[in-house]
Amino acid sequence: MVIDSWDDCKNGASISTHRFADYLRLKHEVTILTTGIVSPGKVLLPRFYPIGVRKIMKKMQTPLALPSRRILRKVMTGMDVVHIQFPFLLGIEAVRMACKLGIPVVSTFHIQAEHLALNAGIHSTVFIRYCYKIWIKTIYDRSGMVICPSRFAEEELKRYGLKAPTRVLSNGILPLFHPEKFSRPESMAGKFIILSVGRLAPEKRHEVIITAIEASKYAGQIQLILLGEGPFRQNLERLSSRLVNPPVFLVLPAEKLVYYYNISDLYIHAATVEVECMAVLEAMACSLPVVIADSGKSATRQFALDEKFLFPSDDSEALSARIDYWIEHPRELRQAGENYLENSGKYRIESSVEKLEEIYTSLMDR
């Protein structure tokens, strides 16, 4: 597994890679080529932060790795498969070395160019097209298989010219995410709890949720919980100071997220850029209804039960109307939670791991 950031990293790609590696290690030998601290099963490379985005990348705990051809050759010699997770310098050099050594390459499309643009404050379609051109040329088209977490992600890469074979493979849901009865904190008793999980970063659009709650006619009854960390936290704290009930900001490990998925009434996903979204899948698996931004650059809208669980992206007024509707229709909302739970069964991580093993084996047998 080749990935730039590993330790203490809270982005979805790193979390997903951790989970897949844990499952694969039950039957296979897995080596992680990355940055960070020394630990078993890892080979370390120096880390760096690109000029211009150093500050925000440090805040988001996402260093890049400085590749060493000597280390790459030493580590990869004798490996059966090389799996690239990030499309940056390390990924590019790892693909080159794997091709030299005749090792099959799998790559996963975790990161959209729009992610980079939004976090760097770049508003240029030329930049986005250039990123995809480079990524496809240096990594994806040199892979024996490109894994796409959603049909949308697959279509995006093909739209930008991908020719390599693809496979749609969900990041999957861990078994620990399931419906469970918990008591709410006294401070939240009787309130309508809205939850959102993810990095506090530009593309997640948490400010749309805050503005929608402020405009709701039930604003005094709503408790917002934001689980995650990131460079936008101070901005969001300032914006949310206008809410009747101050939001709860928390950073928690996965095993403690289950509690909040199960005590909440509604999950809102306002992100405009997404290749799948594990948090939405986890909410579904806990029978928590999900309202999702209908963005042309996000795969997450595929999970919405119907139009009542979608709102036009960046439209806080429309989202506010959705919130009011679901507060006024609790029975319909509970039924929706059951339907979401049923739909989540198609995305279990055990199934994704089995499919990933099949991909590895098929490439090794060529």
Residue 310's φ and ψ, nearest 5 degrees, are -125, 155
Q: Per-residue pLDDT tens for 144-181?
A: 999 999 999 999 999 999 999 999 999 999 999 999 99
What DSSP character marks residue 315?
-
Domains of the chain: 12-172+348-364 (3.40.50.2000), 186-347 (3.40.50.2000)
Q: Is the Cα dihedral 100, 104, 110, 113 positive or negative?
A: positive
State the pLDDT at residue 106. 98
Q: What is the mean pLDDT of the chain?
A: 95
Instruction: For residue 29, give the amino acid letter.
Output: E
- The tokens 């749309």 sit on which residue? 208
* HEC letters along 283-301: HHHCCCCEEEEECCCECHH
State the pLDDT at residue 327. 98
The pTM (predicted TM-score) of the whole model is 0.94
Residue 7 DSSP SS3: coil
Q: What is the DSSP string of 165-180?
A: -EEE----B-TT----
Which of 49-53, 139-143, 158-162 is predicted with the least confidence, judged by mean pLDDT? 49-53
Q: Are the beta carbons of 308 and 322 closer than 8 angstroms? A: yes
Residue 301's φ and ψ, nearest 5 degrees, are -60, -15
Q: Per-residue pLDDT tens for 210-231?
A: 999 999 999 999 999 999 988 8
- Mean pLDDT for 338-348 is 97
How far is residue 170's CA from residue 55's CA, in Å, rounded to a whole number? Answer: 31
Per DSSP, helices labelled H in the chain are: 12-24, 54-59, 69-76, 89-101, 113-120, 125-138, 151-159, 206-215, 233-240, 254-263, 278-285, 316-328, 330-344, 349-364
State the pLDDT at residue 9. 67
Q: Are the beta carbons of 107 and 84 closer than 8 angstroms? A: yes
Q: Rounded to a whole number, what is the largest CA-CA distance in the chain?
A: 63
pLDDT of residue 359 exceeding 90: yes
- The tokens 């503005």 sit on which residue? 211
Q: Is the Cα dihedral 161, 164, 168, 171 positive or negative?
A: negative
Q: Is the Cα dihedral 17, 20, 26, 31 positive or negative?
A: negative
State the pLDDT at residue 347. 97
With vertex at residue 88, the alpha carbon angle to CA 34 and CA 302, rounded to the nearest 5 degrees, is 100
Residue with the bigger pLDDT between 12 and 144: it is 144
Angle subtended by helix axes 12-24 and 278-285, to nearest 10: 60
What DSSP character marks residue 9?
-
| Those residues with Cβ within 8 angstroms of residue 183's Cβ, 6 or more apart along the chain or in another chain | 263
Q: Are the beta carbons of 7 and 36 closer than 8 angstroms? A: yes
